[in-house]
Structure 1
Amino acid sequence: MIRYVYYRKYFYSKSKKVIKNMRLKNKSNEVINLFINQVDRNKAENLTLCSLTYNWLYATKELYKWELPDKITDDMMRCDRFPEKFIESTTYIQERNEKLKDIFTYLGVNDLKQVHLDHWGIFIDIFHNIKFSNELEAKELQRFFDEFIYNIENTIEKNEGSIAPVSIRKLVTKLLNPKEDSIIADITCGTGSFIADINEFIKDKYNDNKKFQYYAQDINSRMLALTKLRCIFNGITNFTVKKGDVLQDEDLYYKKFNYIVAEYPFNLTDWNKPQYVYKNFIPQTTNLRYIDWALNQYVINKLDDRGKAVVVLSKGCLIRSQEAFMRKYFVEKNLIESIILLPASLYFGTSIPVAIIIFNKNKPDYMNEKIQFIDASNCFIKLEKNKRDIKDDDIKRIVDAYTSKENYEDFSILVDKESIKDNKYNLNSTEYIGTSLLKEKIKNSILLGEVAEVKKGVAISKKEIADLKTWPTHYYINLKDIEDGEIKYENAERIEAKKDWETKAAIEPMDILVSSRGHSIKIAMVGSQVGKAIVSDNLLIIRIKQDIYDSRILKKYLESPLGKELLESIQTGSATVKIITAKNLERLPLPKIQQEYIKKLGEVIDYTEKKYKEAIEQARHIYDLETNEIYEKINIIDIISDINKK
């Protein structure tokens, strides 16, 4: 007890100073720091929350009709059995009040037993000094708790990178836009931030939250405790919070919801595949590696017949080829209303680009068998440490586009189911925005794949090239060998081509070459005087069916501002490595030309190209003559001539 008294006096002065200056805002870290050297940070935060919550409950007993035991007295706090008394008291509270069920257990109140006797003074001083004399002060504490939990979220974010930024929460809330008398669920609730934000949105819009019910679910006990506290301190009384894994506990809630929000773990592959997931629609034989679409089917199953869900997930689930059959199911069932591509680097500690999918079982008639795509990947401001955020103006822009369903150039578009089917159920917004709008402007368009065969060159390693130089049979055309729209054979390496390479990657007169990777797109047409040549895998070969179209017209079109923009729109890959695939190139829209004009148009192009080259040659000749005259006048022509002879 002597050591206890010493520590109590030592920490009392510190805690008293902290509490005295506390204005129930921005002081949570100072309280935690009283513990931090004695227990780990999580326990310090949790035990502090236990104390604050305990006192707050007694201050609001009449307001919320809590059933509470007699409050622990100062004498009880001074005895050696204080931890046991406190745990007994909190056990009684969480057993007698349904809304508080397991809340102290989830916060780890039993960890108080592990705190050494010498350190009880820290906890007791916090417990003793933070008191709320009336309901007004207790309500004021709500702001303090929001700040406290916000600080906890920052810690979680830095360690795990799993907390949704404020901007994403704002965006999700506005997109959800729940109607009155609704049941709202967050199936991966975390700290309850989505529910708190949705509740504030509802209070602002309807001036009351009593006509709404909230359900929350998470697998993490600590997160559930924070969710419960957030609900209680924000005046949400009609809520239910349960612990469970959505993919293991199929019937954790035996009800359907009007609205669902969720934020999925990014690129999670280590998860169990329960039988009921396959039972719903996923074939049991399928090796479903990532969790996203399994969670999506759970969301759909839990929505009522007119339900709506807004989920945040990684962009990968929109494009991974092995999940195309999953995307097909949702597209064919007309369950997806909108897909919104967001910027990368919004979350702490990861540059993963994220997206929002809005599921809606009650889409408006004009959206039947259509999906809205929004590309907001460039809507960001830069913060410190390579982190990004979405401005309020951009949030409004996204929400306005979603609400109006208008087509905005390079930003949003409605796409019909057949176009998505033709694109192998790829749901990446950039696949449709830009290309679709430009295609609409091209009258009587056809796809490049209808008039040409597109194939990729062959990849040959440097070692292979060195080994194949002894008996060369072919030029090996690489990206570097294309300059100013022409193939520079003199720069190309010569190698002995293997048998199958001739079939796969040999070029013929009138073929068009397009670079398959790189920021700048290169285009060239193979002339009539071509030696034997094959191309590398960083080039695509377009072989036109000359009886249907014309290579000269296609090259002119691809080199036009419209053609370049279309080529850029079908590039995939990262910001540093841009790729054009043969499949994407086949889907490029071309202007449809009447058959009788094709040959004449090709001849016109030949004539204009010839005149252009002649004019360039003549201009170059005149330029050289006038330059030499200048050299003569400044008496350096002889010196220049000697230099040129070297």
Structure 2
Amino acid sequence: MENYEIVNKDIFTWDKDDKPKLFDFVVSDPPRNLKYHGKFKKNDPMFRYGLPRQSSMEWAVVQKVIYHMKSTAKGVVIGSKGMLVRSYEDEIRAAIVEDDLIECVITLPENLYENTGIGTEVMILNPQKPAERKGGILFINAQDYRERLNSYQHALTDEGTKKILEAYHHNIIEEGFSKFVPIEEMAKYDYRLNPVEYIEFESLKNHFDQTIPLGDIVEITRGVNVTKKELESLEKDGEYYYLNIRNIDDGDINYEDAIRTRPRSGDWLKRYSIQPGDILLTAKGWETKAALVGDDFRDSFISSNLTRIRVDSSKYNPYILLEFLRSEVGKRMLESIQTGTTITLINNKQLSRMEVPVYSKSMMDEIGGSIKKNQTTYKEKVKDAEQQYEGKRAELMMRLGLDNSKK
């Protein structure tokens, strides 16, 4: 590039007498989690799709790129997964999507930037889409096409680069990799632009002959948010356990480390308590874990880091559902609807839309009953083994004169 100019300035300041410079091609790769310390103006023509938040600037940058594009130009914005899914930005996303300006969204492998595991998303803007792209967006999921560049970062493989270019330039649709989604379909997803959600979710759904939305068979409730100070005031004479992420083990609930609390208000008992057959799902964190509330449960409330899935037993077996959520297919489905950049979250609205496999009631009763029996047998044998271990250990310690029971 021979003709260029480098300018160091606040890109969101403007002079009302100045006309915007328009370009044939505009590219922006802003720092992740960038905050703006100035003040956005409501009447700024740059933000005709909506005033962005100062704490999250990616959609301010997207609108900045659009503002400087010629009618025949293309724009590229590189951002995070959060840019594609944050709920408080859905109105801006919706306005730009409905204006049919987004041609393609590409998910690249994580850790492409040194010393950060944050994923990378590429958004291509094009006011003059080809006919086959009008009224929708091409989504591409290339997150698995990575190779280790060095100890600190990955790189996109040559194969991944080739597949992306072929899909984009030749409109290739491939299950598990690329998919064209009409705008009216995106409206059902609150204009979320996560390629993994549209591509991976559909591909996984096709594993089963018949599926049903999770929301049709369960009631989904996020736990109660309590500050540390409030929790301390509620601990005195607490009769209920306050369950958090750390209390969810591999398919089971560990009550021993949970804080004891009293209900802050009368509606806690109905809204945030647990009962046998409930499934508790971690709503935040890198790894999603699920556990079933058994018959030996203890009176508890769930924190806001947990989601309670209350299964309608006349429609589905909770043991079958738990095993599905813990399976590889179930985990990948949950990953496809996660949001967040540094801390992942599961949105309950999206969770309710997740499809689960349909089985006959007789099959669920039979297999669900066997799973429950198997779990009960396992716990009993573990308990017996622990007792035998402690008994034998006590005997050996006594022979060594290390028994502390006698003084």
Task: Find the counterpart in structure 1 of residue 45 from structure 2.
Answer: 277
Deviation at 1:581, TM superposition (A): 3.2
- SS of the counterpart of 1:423? coil
Structure 2 CA distance for aligned equivalents of residues 325 and 530 of structure 1:
43
Q: Number of aligned pairs?
A: 390
Structure 2 CA distance for aligned equivalents of residues 372 and 293 of structure 1:
18
Structure 1 CA distance for aligned equivalents of residues 255 and 114 of structure 2:
50
Deviation at 1:402, TM superposition (A): 2.0
- Is residue 2:355 matched to residue 1:589? yes
Structure 1 CA distance for aligned equivalents of residues 376 and 40 of structure 2:
67
Bigger helix share: 1
Structure 1 CA distance for aligned equivalents of residues 100 and 306 of structure 2:
38
Residues 28 and 65, structure 2, Cα contact 8 Å, conserved in 1: no
- Is residue 2:239 matched to residue 1:473? yes
In the TM superposition, 1:5-404 aligns within 5 A as 192=1, 220=7, 249-250=18-19, 252=21, 259-263=24-28, 265-266=30-31, 267=34, 269=36, 270=38, 273=41, 275=43, 277=45, 281-282=48-49, 286=51, 289=54, 290=57, 291-298=60-67, 302-304=70-72, 309-315=74-80, 316-342=82-108, 354-377=120-143, 379=145, 386=152, 390=156, 392-404=158-170
Structure whose CA Rg is larger:
1
Structure 2 CA distance for aligned equivalents of residues 622 and 345 of structure 1:
44
Task: Find the counterpart in structure 2 of residue 508 from structure 1.
Answer: 275
- Is residue 2:331 matched to residue 1:532? no
Q: TM-score, normalised on structure 1?
A: 0.50
Deviation at 1:534, TM superposition (A): 0.6
Q: TM-score, normalised on structure 2?
A: 0.75
- SS of the counterpart of 1:601? helix
Aligned with 2:263 (options 490, 494, 497): 497
RMSD, matched Cα: 4.4
Larger RCO, structure (CA 8 Å, separation 6 or more): 2
Further displaced range: 408-417 or 421-430: 408-417
- Is residue 2:200 matched to residue 1:413? no
Letter in 2 for 1:298: Y
Relative to 1, partners in 2 of residues 1:247 and 1:494: Cα closer, same or farther, differing over 3 Å? same
Structure 1 CA distance for aligned equivalents of residues 250 and 53 of structure 2:
47
Q: Which runs of 5+ in 1 are unaligned?
A: 1-191, 197-215, 223-243
Task: Find the counterpart in structure 1 of residue 308 from structure 2.
Answer: 541
- SS of the counterpart of 1:356? strand
Structure 1 CA distance for aligned equivalents of residues 181 and 370 of structure 2:
41
Deviation at 1:338, TM superposition (A): 0.8
Letter in 2 for 1:610: K
Structure 2 CA distance for aligned equivalents of residues 489 and 351 of structure 1:
33
**Aligned residues with identical type, % of pairs:** 30
- Is residue 2:209 matched to residue 1:443? yes
- SS of the counterpart of 2:121? strand
Deviation at 1:324, TM superposition (A): 1.8
Aligned with 1:550 (options 297, 317, 321): 317
Relative to 1, partners in 2 of residues 1:644 and 1:518: Cα closer, same or farther, differing over 3 Å? farther
Q: Which runs of 5+ in 2 are unaligned?
A: none
Deviation at 1:601, TM superposition (A): 1.8
Deviation at 1:396, TM superposition (A): 2.3
Structure 1 CA distance for aligned equivalents of residues 89 and 201 of structure 2:
24
Deviation at 1:453, TM superposition (A): 2.1
Relative to 1, partners in 2 of residues 1:511 and 1:345: Cα closer, same or farther, differing over 3 Å? closer
Deviation at 1:339, TM superposition (A): 0.9
Structure 1 CA distance for aligned equivalents of residues 248 and 294 of structure 2:
13
Residues 335 and 360, structure 1, Cα contact 8 Å, conserved in 2: yes
- SS of the counterpart of 1:487? coil
